[in-house]
Every structure is written in C-alpha cells, then in structure tokens.
C-alpha cells in the first residue's frame, strides 16, 4: 500500500515536466505538421507545399548542400574534439584538467549571437586578422574573409565543440587506465590501443556528440547567416524567408517538417549502421 502511494506521488511530480514538454515541444510540432498540409488561401488539405520543395530544384539543391555541409562540419568537429577529450581525461592531471575544461566551457556562457559577431570582428575586411596581416607586411590591403564556406565552417565548429567534447569525455572517464596499460604490456602500440580499446569504449559518447552536433548544425541559422551572408545558401534561411519575408507559414511549415523528418531518419539510419543503442548511449 505504501509503495503504491509513493509511486502515485512520483507520477504527480512528473506532471509539470510533461506539461512543459507538451506545450513547448509537442503542440508546436503538431501545429507545424497541420499547417504544412493546408492551402495558404483556402485552408483546404493540399500536398502543394511539399510538391514545391521537390519541383523547384533551388530548394532541393540548398537542402542537399545543407546536409552535406553539416556532415562535413560534424566530422571536423569530431576530429578536433576526440583528441581534446582524450588529452583532458587521460593525459592531463587533475589541476590542469579543470583549467582546460573551464577554458572550453567559459566561451559558451556567451550567446551564439555574440559569438558570431566576435567572428565577424575577426574576419571582416577591417578586422583584427587583417590588421595583423598588414602590420606584419604580409598584405597591403584588407582581405574579406567573411562570406565564404570556410568561415561558416569555423563558426559552426566553434559553436558546437562543447557538445561533442563533453559526451566523449563522459565515455572516456569510465575507461579503466589499466586496460590501456595491459594493451601496451601485451605488445600493442598507440594506434592499435586506440583502435581496439579506446575508440570502441568511447563509441557511445562519439555517437551522442555527433548526433547533437549534426542536429545543431543542420538547424543553425544565426551563425550561418551572419558569417555566410547571402552566400550561405542554408535551408533554415529558406524556412525563415517563407515565414517572415513571404508570410507563407504553410510553405515554411512544410520545409520545417521536411527538415525534421530527414533529421530523425538520418540519425536512425546512422544508429542502425553503427549498431549503436541510443538509449544506452544516453
């Protein structure tokens, strides 16, 4: 009897969280889904909003570009984050570990908008980088580093590094150092130990971090727009233009549903290919 009462109390405590998720996540997505199948003028059921995406090559090309670029930036973020997480967890002492981790976390106390403006100050034609290049005599005129793919990549990698490093660190923290020592004692080298022990153990963290970073990059708007300008050609800009510029909420909702559906399917396919269990990884 007492156990049942305690269980019921626990269920009541879940109600605020469920209401929060329902109002801020479930209901908006249901409304978005309904809008995507409604005609802009009559409100009748239609598939025209989705047909527009597939019939106009511009939208499909922008979508494909966004996906490919997001995969590339996620891969680059992983290439930077894994060695960083390994050094922090397995190489540095406790004192230096805390200092380095603090140096990584502190910049994320600033909003993404301010971070993007900071990169603009660095990269613009009259910015800090150009000032030093001219002071050193490397160039005699300002170089516009903004509005290029490489600039967008730098901004996306920077804004998502923490979301890749922390999950990998959490996985590597549970790796017993004696396993690494045993690998060396049995004749293994650095690369074989990394391939056979460290990377497989960090697999769940790598998967969670990659999913988070890919989702963040795929749905990014602020960093891409500010650093890429009109040359960014990001799919979230197409969604923004439909909602805000053209006041076509139905078309924008269809684009949003397409982006969301692809994200979920892409993550599901990757999990199946890599044979990772998302629940276990989380």
The residues with which 76 forms a beta bridge, in sequence order, are none
pLDDT score, position 232: 81
pLDDT score, position 127: 84
pLDDT score, position 145: 86
pLDDT tens per residue, the chain (282 residues)?
555 555 566 677 778 888 888 888 889 889 999 999 999 888 889 999 999 999 888 899 999 999 999 999 999 999 999 999 999 998 887 778 888 888 888 888 888 889 899 999 888 888 888 888 888 888 877 788 888 889 999 999 999 999 999 999 999 998 888 888 888 888 888 888 888 899 999 988 999 899 999 999 999 999 999 998 877 889 999 999 999 988 999 999 999 999 999 998 988 888 887 777 666 655
Q: How far is CA 227 from the centre of its chain?
A: 17
pLDDT score, position 130: 86
CATH code that applies to domain 56-281: 1.10.3720.10
Domain boundaries defined on the chain: 56-281
Please give the helix or strand (H or E) that residue 265 lies within, else none: helix 249-274
Closest listed residue to residue 214, CA positions, set 26, 61, 59, 76:
76
Hey, what are 47's tokens?
């598939």
Q: Is 219 left (phi over 0), alpha (psi -120 to 50) or beta?
A: alpha
Residue 48, burial from CB neighbour count under 10 angstroms (0-12, 13-18, 19+):
middle
The residues with which 45 forms a beta bridge, in sequence order, are 38
Hey, what are 199's tokens?
């990377």
SS3 of residue 90 by DSSP? helix
Distance from C-alpha of 282 to C-alpha of 47, rounded to nearest angstrom: 37
Phi and psi for 93 in degrees, rounded to 5?
A: -75, 175
**E strand intervals along the chain:** none
Distance from C-alpha of 167 to C-alpha of 174, rounded to nearest angstrom: 12
Phi and psi for 174 in degrees, rounded to 5?
A: -90, 0
pTM assigned to the model: 0.88
Distance from C-alpha of 8 to C-alpha of 5, rounded to nearest angstrom: 5
Residue 117, burial from CB neighbour count under 10 angstroms (0-12, 13-18, 19+):
middle
Contacts of 76 (CB under 8 A, 6+ apart): 153, 157
């Amino acid at each position: 009897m007492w156990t049942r009462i305690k269980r019921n109390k626990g269920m009541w405590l879940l109600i605020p969280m469920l209401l929060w998720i329902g109002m801020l996540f479930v209901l908006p997505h249901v409304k978005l889904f309904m809008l995507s199948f409604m005609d802009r003028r009559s409100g009748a059921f239609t598939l025209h909003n989705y047909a527009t995406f597939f019939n106009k090559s511009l939208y499909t090309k922008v979508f494909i570009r966004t996906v490919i670029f997001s995969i590339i930036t996620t891969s680059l973020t992983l290439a930077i984050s894994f060695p960083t997480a390994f050094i922090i967890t397995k190489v540095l002492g406790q004192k230096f570990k805390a200092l380095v981790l603090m140096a990584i976390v502190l910049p994320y106390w600033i909003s993404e908008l301010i971070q993007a403006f900071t990169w603009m100050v660095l990269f613009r034609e009259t910015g800090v980088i150009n000032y030093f290049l001219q002071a050193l005599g490397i160039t005699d005129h300002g170089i516009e580093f903004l509005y290029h793919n490489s600039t967008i990549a730098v901004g996306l990698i920077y804004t998502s590094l923490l979301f890749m490093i922390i999950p990998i660190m959490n996985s590597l923290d549970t790796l017993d150092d004696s396993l690494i020592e045993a690998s060396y004692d049995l004749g293994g080298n650095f690369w074989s130990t990394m391939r056979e022990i460290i990377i497989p153990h960090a697999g769940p963290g790598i998967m969670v971090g990659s999913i988070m970073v890919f989702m963040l990059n795929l749905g990014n708007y602020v960093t891409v727009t500010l650093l890429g300008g009109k040359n960014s050609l990001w799919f979230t800009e197409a969604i923004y233009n439909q909602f805000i510029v053209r006041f076509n909420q139905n078309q924008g909702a269809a684009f949003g549903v397409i982006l969301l559906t692809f994200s979920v399917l892409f993550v599901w396919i990757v999990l199946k290919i890599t044979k990772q269990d998302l629940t276990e990884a989380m």
